[in-house]
C-alpha cells in the first residue's frame, strides 16, 4: 500500500471555520516517563487548541461549523452531559458569532453550576434539562421544530460533533502528529497512542488519517469513558469509513491497529475510580498536566496500566493524546 495522496489533498482543502491554534505541541514527559519506567513518553497537547479553553472538540467544530453549513443559521442546538466540553466550545462559538445557543443536557448532581456547566451559562447558552441521556436527541429535534415555527433557522450539531464530518478534524490531527513524530529522529519504529474515547469521533478521525498516510507503525488505544469496547470499536470503524467516503477514499480498517479499552470505566460515566485518581495525581505531580475526571484521567489510567503490564521496548515510543477538559476537574 501507499499513501492516498488524492484523498489527503481533498482533506487539506476541505472547508472549515478556523478556530484552533495549530499545531498543538508534542512534549517529552521525562519525569513522568521515568516514574513509569520509560524514557520515551510524550504528550500531544490538544488541551491547548486554544479556543474557549481548548480540547479536542475545537478541531471537530472547525468542520461541523464550516461554511456553508452555518450560513443563515440563527441558533445552534447541541447536547451533552452536564460537564460537556463539546457544549462549552459550541456555546462559546455562538457567543462569538452572535448566535443563539440551546444546550440539551442531563440534570447535574450539583445544585449550583460549576466547571463546564458554569461556563455553558457564562457563554449565554439556554439550558434544556432532561432526565436521561437517551432523551437528548429527541429533545434537540423538538426544540429545533419549535424554533422553525418561530421563524428561526436552527442547526443541530450531534453530541460531541462525532460525525463523519467532525471526524475529519482528527484525520488532520493524525497528519500533524505524524509530522511531529517523524521530526523526533529517535530511532523508534513504533508509536503507541492513548486517547480518551466516548462518542468515537476522535479515534475514528485518527484511524482515517493514519490509513490515508499508510502509517501502520502507529497503534491506537481508545480508552472508553462509558461505552463497551466492542461497541466503541464498531462506532469508530463506521465513522472512519463514512469520513473516508467524504474524501472519496475507501479505507481498510484491518490495516491500522486500533483497539478500544473499557477496563477504566469503573462505576460509570463521569465517576472517578481509584486508578483515575492516581493517574490525575501522577500527571499533575510529574508532568504539570491537568486531566479531568470524566475523560482524560481515565485515558491516563489506561496508559499507566498498559505501561505497567507491558513495559515498552526500546524501539517503541508512547504518546498520550490529551484531549482537554480541565474545567471538569473543578466541578
Q: Which pTM was predicted?
A: 0.96
Which CATH number is 140's domain given?
A: 3.40.50.1100
Q: Give the structural domain span for 42.
A: 5-53+163-330
Asked if 159 contacts 79 with a C-beta cutoff of 8 angstroms, the reply is yes
Do 271 and 307 lie in a common domain?
Answer: yes
Asked if 173 contacts 63 with a C-beta cutoff of 8 angstroms, the reply is no
The residue among 118, 139, 161 that closes a domain is 161
Q: How far is Cα 178 from Cα 117, in angstroms, rounded to an integer?
A: 35
Which residue has 498516510 as its cell numbers? 213
Residues in the chain: 331
Residue 58 lies in a domain: no
Q: Of these residues, 84, 162, 167, 224, which one is catalytic? A: 84
Q: How far is Cα 95 from Cα 169, in angstroms, rounded to an integer?
A: 22
Which grid cell is 21? Answer: 491554534
Residue 81 lies in a domain: yes
What's the pLDDT at 135? Answer: 93
Please, is 199 exposed, middle or buried when counting C-beta atoms within 10 Å of its C-beta (0-12, 13-18, 19+)?
A: buried
H or E element that contains 230: helix 229-246
What's the pLDDT at 304? Answer: 98
Do 201 and 276 lie in a common domain?
Answer: yes
The residue among 133, 161, 189 that closes a domain is 161
Do 168 and 157 lie in a common domain?
Answer: no
Do 88 and 120 lie in a common domain?
Answer: yes
How many domains does the chain fold into? 2
Residue 124 lies in a domain: yes
Order of strands, sheet of 154-156, starting from the edge strand that comes earlier in the sequence:
126-130, 100-106, 75-80, 154-156
The residue among 161, 189, 212 that closes a domain is 161
83-49-52-76 Cα dihedral, nearest 10 degrees: -80
Residue 241 lies in a domain: yes
Average pLDDT of each block of 10 consecutive residues along the chain (331 residues)? 94 97 98 96 98 97 95 96 94 98 87 91 96 92 97 96 96 98 94 96 97 97 95 96 97 90 93 96 98 96 97 95 93 78
Cα dihedral sign, 120-121-125-131: positive
Do 94 and 226 lie in a common domain?
Answer: no
Do 76 and 198 lie in a common domain?
Answer: no
Residue 84 annotated among the catalytic residues of the structure = yes
Do 147 and 168 lie in a common domain?
Answer: no
What's the pLDDT at 80? Answer: 93
Amino acid at each position: 500500500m501507499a499513501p492516498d495522496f488524492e484523498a489527503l489533498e481533498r482533506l487539506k482543502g476541505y472547508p472549515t471555520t478556523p478556530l484552533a491554534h495549530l499545531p498543538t505541541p508534542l512534549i517529552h514527559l521525562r519525569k513522568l516517563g521515568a516514574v513509569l519506567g520509560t524514557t520515551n513518553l510524550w504528550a500531544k497537547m490538544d488541551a491547548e487548541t486554544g479556543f474557549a479553553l481548548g480540547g479536542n472538540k475545537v478541531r471537530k467544530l472547525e468542520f461541523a461549523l464550516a461554511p456553508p453549513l452555518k450560513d443563515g443559521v440563527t441558533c445552534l442546538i447541541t447536547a451533552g452531559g452536564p460537564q460537556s466540553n463539546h457544549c462549552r466550545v459550541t456555546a462559546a462559538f455562538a457567543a462569538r458569532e452572535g448566535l443563539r445557543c440551546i444546550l440539551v443536557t442531563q440534570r447535574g448532581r450539583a445544585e449550583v453550576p460549576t466547571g463546564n456547566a458554569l461556563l455553558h451559562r457564562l457563554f449565554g447558552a439556554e439550558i434544556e434539562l432532561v432526565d436521561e441521556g437517551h432523551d437528548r436527541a429527541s429533545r434537540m429535534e423538538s426544540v429545533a421544530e419549535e424554533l422553525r415555527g418561530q421563524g428561526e433557522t436552527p442547526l443541530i450539531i450531534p453530541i460531541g460533533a462525532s460525525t463523519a464530518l467532525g471526524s475529519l478534524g482528527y484525520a488532520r490531527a493524525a497528519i500533524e502528529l505524524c509530522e511531529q513524530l517523524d521530526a523526533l529522529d529517535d530511532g523508534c519504529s513504533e508509536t503507541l497512542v492513548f486517547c480518551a474515547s466516548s462518542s468515537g469521533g476522535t479515534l475514528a478521525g485518527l484511524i482515517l488519517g493514519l490509513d490515508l498516510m499508510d502509517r501502520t507503525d502507529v497503534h491506537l488505544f481508545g480508552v472508553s469513558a462509558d461505552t463497551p469496547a466492542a461497541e466503541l470499536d464498531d462506532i469508530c470503524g463506521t465513522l472512519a469509513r463514512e469520513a473516508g467516503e467524504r474524501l472519496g477514499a475507501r479505507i481498510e480498517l484491518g490495516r491500522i491497529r486500533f483497539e478500544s479499552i473499557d477496563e477504566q470505566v469503573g462505576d460509570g460515566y463521569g465517576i472517578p475510580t481509584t486508578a483515575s485518581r492516581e493517574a490525575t495525581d501522577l500527571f499533575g505531580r510529574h508532568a504539570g498536566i491537568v486531566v479531568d475526571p470524566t475523560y482524560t484521567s481515565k485515558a491516563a489510567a489506561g496508559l499507566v496500566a498498559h505501561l505497567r503490564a507491558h513495559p515498552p521496548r526500546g524501539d517503541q515510543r508512547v504518546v498520550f493524546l490529551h484531549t482537554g477538559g480541565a474545567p471538569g476537574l473543578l466541578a
